[in-house]
Structure 1
Amino acid sequence: MRDKRGFTLIELIVVLGLASIVISVVMSFFIANFKSYEAINTESEAQYQSQYIINFMTDKILGAESFEGHTGSVFKFKNPDGKEITFEGAGKRVRYRHGTDAPVLIGNYVKALNIESSGAGEITITLILENGNKEYAAKQIVYMRNSSN
C-alpha cells in the first residue's frame, strides 16, 4: 500500500495557479479603489482649500472701506481704521497681511487669484486651484459694508 498523506506536484501547481488568479483579481480591485480614493481626496482637498480661502477673504473684505487696486498679484483694501489689508496670490499660495503685521498663509494650490471691483462696493473674487492634475474654480461676489460708494 502507498502512503497518501502528501500532495502531488500537480495538485500544488493547480492550487498555486488558482491562488494567483484570485490574488490578482483582489489586488486589481484594491488598486482601482485606491486610485479612486486618491482622485476624490485630491479634488476634496482643492474644494476645502477653495472654500476656506474664499470664506476668509469674504470675511475680511466685508469689513473693508475701499478697494485700493492691485499691483501684479497683490490686492489692496483699506479698512475703516486706516490700515491696509492685502491679499497676495503668488507661488501657488495666498497670503493675507493686515497693516504692517507679518503675512499669514491662508491657502495652498492656488493657480490664479483675481479680485475686481465693479463699483458700488461690489468685489468679485475669482480663484482657481490646481492640485495634482485636477483644477477647481470658485467665484464669489462680496459687498463691502463700509464702502462709501
Structure 2
Amino acid sequence: MNIGEIGIEAARAKIGPIADNAQFGREVTYLTRHGKHIAAVVPLNVLTHLTRLRATEHLISRGIPVNFQHDPTRTFPEPVIRIYVKGETLSWGDAGRVVMEAALPTNSTPSDIQAAQDLLGRAVEVLTEGGFELVEDHRTSDKLSGLTYDNIRYRLTPLGFVHL
C-alpha cells in the first residue's frame, strides 16, 4: 500500500484522483495543514476492518462474548455475538459493511433464543454508548429446531472513530 501526503488546500482541487487512488490503487493519502497531518483518505476496506476490530475490542472489554470470524458452519455452546465485514463480492450496497448479529448454538432451545436476543440487545447498548451508530440492516424470521425467532442484523458505521 502506498502512502502519500498533500496539503488540504491542494487536495480540494484533486479530491477525485485522491479518492480514486484510495479505491483502486489502495493508497493512503494524508491531508496536511501547516505541515501537520489532520486527516487521511484511506481505502474503504481499511476503515471497515478497523471498525470491526474496534467494535470487537469494545464488546470484549465489557464482557460480551464475540466470535472473530464469520463462519456460518461453526457451532457454539452458547449464544455469541458475531461481527464481520461483508465480502467484496456482494453488491455495491452491501460490500464493506460491518455487520453484527447473534449466533445461536446448535439444537437451540427457546431459552437459547431468548439469551441470544438479550445478548444482542446488550451489545447494541454497549456499542451505542461507545459512540457507534447502529442501523438495523436485516430482519428475518428463521426456523431453528422447529422454533421461529427473529434474526436481527445490525450495520455498524465508522462513526465510532469520532470518539477515539
TM-score clears 0.5: no
**Structure with greater proportional strand content:** 1
TM-score in terms of structure 1 length = 0.32
Where relative contact order (Cα < 8 A, 6+ residues apart) is larger, the structure is 1
TM-score in terms of structure 2 length = 0.30
The structure with the largest alpha-carbon Rg is 1
